[in-house]
Amino acid sequence: NAGVMQNPRHLVRRRGQEARLRCSPMKGHSHVYWYRQLPEEGLKFMVYLQKENIIDESGMPKERFSAEFPKEGPSILRIQQVVRGDSAAYFCASSPTVYTGELFFGEGSRLTVL
């Protein structure tokens, strides 16, 4: 859904660098969800955030990955000391409440680690 904006669309990093992916939810939405898609795989849930709170990070790797959704500004998924296995498409979705319907994804950020 064009209403969920992600940037950058493409990001190249060398091993050991940091990657920051941003997600601006649809207007009026305060719930954000991040999913990761490895090459030729389905999407896997990473984290669910509300404004200033992490609600569920059960899908997030324990190390090097963090997410935030500040009171002002976009949600950020941060990957420190990237490794080649982090190369993937990272998709964000949003909802006005804890949704019970479908997910509307942004166009994704495609991370390539050299």
Binding site for another protein (CB under 8 A): 31, 33, 40-45, 48, 56, 58-59, 91, 95, 98-108
Alpha carbon of 38 to those of 3, 12, 13: distances in Å?
Answer: 24, 15, 16
* Nearer of residues 17 and 55 to another protein, judged by Cβ: 55
* Nearer of residues 58 and 63 to another protein, judged by Cβ: 58
Minimum CB separation from another protein for residue 93, in Å?
Answer: 8
| R_g (Cα) of the chain, nearest Å | 13
* Nearer of residues 51 and 104 to another protein, judged by Cβ: 104
Minimum CB separation from another protein for residue 109, in Å?
Answer: 10
Minimum CB separation from another protein for residue 83, in Å?
Answer: 23
**Partners of 33 in beta bridges:** 48, 93
Cα separation, 18 vs 20, whole angstroms: 7
> Which element (helix H / strand E) includes 110?
strand 109-113
Contact 31, 94 (CB under 8 A): yes
* Nearer of residues 80 and 105 to another protein, judged by Cβ: 105
Minimum CB separation from another protein for residue 71, in Å?
Answer: 21
